[in-house]
Amino acid sequence: MTVESCPIDVDLHRDHWLALRKPLITASEVSAVFGEEGKNPFMTALDLYLAKIHGPKQFDDDATMRGRHLEAAALSHTREDRPNWQIKNCDNFYRDRLIGIGATPDSVNCHGEPVEFKCPFEPTFYEKWTDQPPIHNQLQALVQAMLMDAPRAWLVAYIVTTFKVSLHTYEVPRHPAAEKQIMDGVTAFWQRIKDGNPPPAQYGRDTEALSMLYPRDDGSAVDLTGDNRLPDLLARRVSITTKMRELTQEKQTIDDELRDKLGEAEEGTLPGWRLTWKTEIRKEKLFTPSSSTRVLRVSDRRKKEGLT
């Protein structure tokens, strides 16, 4: 490998940092290269393909902002937990332009080993991190160690709940066979982009990506007669559509009965349930006058009240 280290202040030069990342598959993206096997919960292979052609989508949802702001607390907690590490922020971007891969570790310890912080929600941690970190996080850490030529990487899960915080540290040792798969996978992915050969879509996850891949029709017709899978899919779709229509009507019937039972009351209570039919005011907009409407809401409290 031919790795370069580029000093960068991510906070002050975020645009520069994003520009460095675009022509590379970064450590956080590597798992998407492997499609469903990579188990990346945030990005599919087709998402990644389109991001490298058109540029990444720039957004900050609540979970992303939460993780970014908690990173400083996780670093402080880790310094107390492992004072011998002499851990510090990593201000370098590592890249191998020949292969087309890069990484920006969160921190580095005194042994030159990358330390990556994750701040999963407590239920997610106990569901996904019980035996070991999720595979997409392990691949991210492994790429960082590989590019830094470190003997291992570390993943730190920082869990914040109402009454406590906890720190869970995992070692991610180097794995030559996995590293070869990563490099081969990244090389093959860039070849896909060069050839204009998009990866297979993950149906159910790639709705938006498919719309971006095929933004408009060309006026042609395609003969699907030989596709033996389609008749069953289409029959299933009709069945689902019919059931949805029937269930929607049944729900409407139930909701009407609930409205009738609530009458003028704002709220109705009974063991395991909470019903509200509140009047909500919609503010005046440019071409729309203010208005009021009653909104029916049903809260299932059976589990919380120990009734299930």
Does 105 lie in the same domain as 33? Answer: yes
Residue 25 lies in a domain: yes
Question: What residues make up the domain containing 267?
Answer: 232-283+291-300
Does 206 lie in the same domain as 237? Answer: no
Does 163 lie in the same domain as 93? Answer: yes
- Total domain count for the chain? 2
Q: 121's torsion region: left (phi>0), alpha (psi -120 to 50) or beta?
A: beta
pLDDT of residue 286: 64
Report residue 117: phi and psi, to 5°: -100, 140
Look up the CATH number of the domain holding residue 30. 3.90.320.10
CA 287 vs CA 279, 283, 284: distances in Å: 22, 11, 8
Residue 222 lies in a domain: no
In our burial notation (b when 16+ CB lie closer than 10 A, e otherwise), range 184-210 reads ebbeebbebbeeeebbebbeeebeebb
Cα torsion for 32, 35, 36, 38, to the nearest 10°?
-40
The predicted-structure confidence for 243-299, as pLDDT tens digits, reads as follows: 999 999 999 999 999 999 999 999 998 999 999 999 988 887 766 777 889 999 999
pLDDT of residue 200: 94
Residue 223 lies in a domain: no
Q: How far apart are CA 153 and CA 143, in angstroms?
A: 9
Contact 75, 90 (CB under 8 A): no
Does 273 lie in the same domain as 149? Answer: no
Burial group, residue 8, by CB count within 10 angstroms (0-12, 13-18, 19+):
middle
Does 167 lie in the same domain as 36? Answer: yes
Residue 308 lies in a domain: no
The predicted-structure confidence for 28-74, as pLDDT tens digits, reads as follows: 999 999 999 989 999 999 999 999 998 776 555 666 777 777 888 99
Q: How far apart are CA 124 and CA 264, in angstroms?
A: 41
Q: Are strands 88-89 and 107-108 parallel, antiparallel or unpaired?
A: antiparallel
Residue 307 lies in a domain: no
Contact 192, 185 (CB under 8 A): no
Residue 63 lies in a domain: yes
